[in-house]
Amino acid sequence: MRFTSIIDAIGHTPLVELRSYSPRTGVRVFAKLEGHNPTGSLKDRIAKFMIDQAEREGLLTRDKVILEPTSGNTGISLAMIARVKGYRLKVVMPENVSPERVDMLRLFGAEIVFSSGEKGTNGSIEVAQRMVSEDARYFMPYQYGNLANPQAHYDTTAQEIIDDLPEIDMFVAGLGTGGTLMGVGRCLKDHNPQVKVLAAVPHPGELIFGLRNLDEGFIPPIVDLDLLDGRIVVESEDAFRSTRELTEREGIFAGVSSGAVMACAKRLASRMDKGSIVALLADGGWKYLSSQLWTRSYEDMGQETQDMVWW
Amino acid sequence: MAAEVRIPSLLRGQVGGSRSIQASGPTVGHALDDIEARFPGFKERVIDPNGTIKQFVSIFINGEDVRYIQSLDTPLQDGDQVSILPAVAGG
């Protein structure tokens, strides 16, 4: 395939059947490998849509600095696109993310503002919102409230899934901004209202010390919880184990949130008599190598690893 | 029915510092009432005055969000594990 720009090479990721994950004849599990995008995650899709839309609407101009809160992947995608298009980018990111995320942002020329690790990505959102309200030079795509985020998945990710597997019965993906679940979920339900849409969410562990009370939780404005058919929480340890198992059983090298999604897909597949599940694997494993999750036991990885933001 | 309710760090002050406590009742809602009886003030941190689960709080039973089962009326079985978690973002 030939493209005129790396930005045009976003999307069209493989859908791969995971035969070892089939619990019985007639139940099939497929993985959508979003790590095959140019910067290695599904966020390339939404970064492209958000930037294109902002340019069309005149919100993003040469004099602006793009500012975005992120746990990493969206920042990296925006950084790549900002490089190609010649924009300045600043990201606000929790201080406790994997070093690979920091390195990738820097190699694409992004500036990084670190927010408190104890507040996770919720804290990055607070800081970015304050910065944007105080300085008119900033343009914030704001993936949590920007409808171009789910639209990217409605128009591309979901369409690719339907093209490859029109008989899909169930879709499971991680809930971070909700963009994937909302966009893919709506399109799949438009395609066939019987399709079930399930969210995997990370157990925040002790990471929530920084929140003063439960009311400081955050549900992205683009999320409509009624669109979902269920939500399953996955402990970090299970996500890690599952990430490693995916590599051992299927030769697929994916990130930690993908492990959580696979843990859910297994649980859902075990309850099905027949049908096809698509598990969306948001990124590749490259950005998590420093955690040594493929080579060390979870117990040996230490508290430091357990207190990190993984998605 | 006795379930283990895991308490997030934010609410541990409310229950004498415990990471998890046993609670009984036929449903999730009854188990929360049981905790409230022992630790007054606990329930209002999780449940709105109108009796629904607070907007930014999720209650999971064996990992599954009760919102998509029968909310506070979700039946409990012996040995179930209940988690109370605040909503966190990713991305």
pLDDT in tens, chain B (91 residues): 899 999 988 889 889 999 999 999 999 999 999 999 999 999 999 999 999 999 889 999 999 999 999 999 999 999 999 999 988 888 8
Chain B: give the shortest CA distance to residue A202, in Å. Answer: 8
Cross-chain CB nearest to A209 (options B9, B87, B88):
B9
Q: Is A287 an annotated catalytic residue?
A: no
CA–CA gap between residue A177 and residue A37 (Å, rounded): 19
Q: Is A133 an annotated catalytic residue?
A: no
Is B90 in contact with A311 (Cβ distance < 8 A)? yes
Q: Which of A257, A258, A276, A291 is catalytic?
A: A257
Is B89 in contact with A212 (Cβ distance < 8 A)? no
- Residue numbers in A near B66 (CB within 8 A): none
For tokens 């929790």, name the residue: A94
Chain A: give the shortest CA distance to residue B24, in Å. Answer: 22
Size of interface A-B (CB pairs under 8 A): 109
Q: Where are the domains of chain A?
A: 7-41+156-306, 43-139
Chain B: give the shortest CA distance to residue A102, in Å. Answer: 14
List A residues 204-263 in contact with B (Cβ-Cβ < 8 A). Answer: 204, 206-209, 211-220, 225, 228-234, 257
Amino acid A299: pLDDT: 77
Is some CB atom of chain A closer than 8 A to the CB atom of B49?
no
Q: Under CATH, which number does the domain A43-139 receive?
A: 3.40.50.1100
Contact predicate A13/A34, CB 8 Å: yes
Amino acid A209: pLDDT: 52
Is A218 in contact with B10 (Cβ distance < 8 A)? no
The yes-or-no answer to whether A7-41+156-306 and A43-139 have a common fold is yes
Is some CB atom of chain B closer than 8 A to the CB atom of A41?
no
Chain B: give the shortest CA distance to residue A82, in Å. Answer: 18
- Residue numbers in B near A204 (CB within 8 A): 85-86, 88
Q: Which of A72, A63, A113 is nearest to A283 (CA)?
A: A72
pTM for this prediction: 0.95
Best mutation target, A207, A211, A214, to test chain B (most B CBs within 10 A): A214
Walk me through the domains of chain B, giving residue ranges and CATH numbers. Answer: 2-86 (3.10.20.30)
Decide yes or no: CATH 3.40.50.1100 for domain A7-41+156-306.
yes
- 3-state SS string over chain A? CCCCCHHHHCCCCCEEECHHHCCCCCEEEEEEEHHHCCCCECHHHHHHHHHHHHHHCCCCCCCCEEEEECCCHHHHHHHHHHHHHCCEEEEEEECCCCHHHHHHHHHCCCEEEEECHHHHHHHHHHHHHHHHHHCCCEECCCCCCCCHHHHHHHHHHHHHHHHHCCCCCEEEEECCCCHHHHHHHHHHHHHCCCCEEEEEEECCHHHHHHCCCHHHCCCCCCCCHHHCCEEEEECHHHHHHHHHHHHHHHCCCECHHHHHHHHHHHHHHHCCCCEEEEEEECEECHHHHHHCCCCCCCHHHHHHHHCCCCC
Mean pLDDT by 10 residues, chain A (311 residues): 97 98 98 98 98 98 97 97 98 93 97 92 94 97 98 98 98 96 98 98 69 76 97 92 97 96 98 98 95 83 71 72
